[in-house]
Amino acid sequence: MMNRRKVLEALKERLTDEIVISTYSTASDWIDMSDRPLNFYSNGAMGLASSHGLGMALARPERRVIVLDGDGSLLMNLPTLVTIGRVAPVNFTHMVMCNGSYEANGGHPIPNQDVDFEAMAKAAQIEKTCTISAMQDFTGRLDWLLSEPGPIFASLQIEQGPLGPRSYKEMYRAERRQALRDALGADAK
């Protein structure tokens, strides 16, 4: 099992101009670690990070889109895997933090903690998949995750994170959304 913050730290070190979409507990950690204009925080509608990421990947094919999802969140929107497999955006990387719980809602266990998310992604015809449970493996595959034509699906086996209260209001600031629009608008010039 990996520590989510260590996973995110390794990812942060490799980022250049990718769009990163994160949700709930991962988004809370990500904003503390890597507050940048090309971040989009998908909160308030559990399960939609993958859909937001797919839309962004289709709208902005010139940029890699990385979705930092959770296992509980993905369970709320499994059909998105089928759509991702069908439209197959080459600039799409979907990393699912699997800790077997709805961590943002108090750590309640997901219905089946042994669910094989990689097998679900493969069944949805996402051809490039992996399950990673060790940091050395993650850092060794990070270049592949960020540069290989997608879609790519990675099930990241992580430890349960802190269950304390989190404030998500910082993510909703209008200035954050405007900074993302401005950063993406700069591409059109």
Q: Write out the DSSP string of 90-138.
A: TTEEEEEEE-SEEGGGTSEEPS-TT--HHHHHHHTT--EEEEE-SHHHH
pLDDT tens by residue, 95-154: 999 987 766 666 666 787 788 999 999 999 999 999 999 999 999 999 999 999 999 999
Confidence band, pLDDT 50/70/90 cuts, at residue 177: confident
Confidence band, pLDDT 50/70/90 cuts, at residue 88: very high
Domain 4-188 superfamily per CATH = Thiamin diphosphate (ThDP)-binding fold, Pyr/PP domains (3.40.50.970)
Ordered by start, the domain boundaries in the chain are 4-188
Beta bridge partners of 100: none
pLDDT tens by residue, 152-171: 999 999 988 776 666 667 77
Q: Which residue matches tokens 């890597």? A: 34
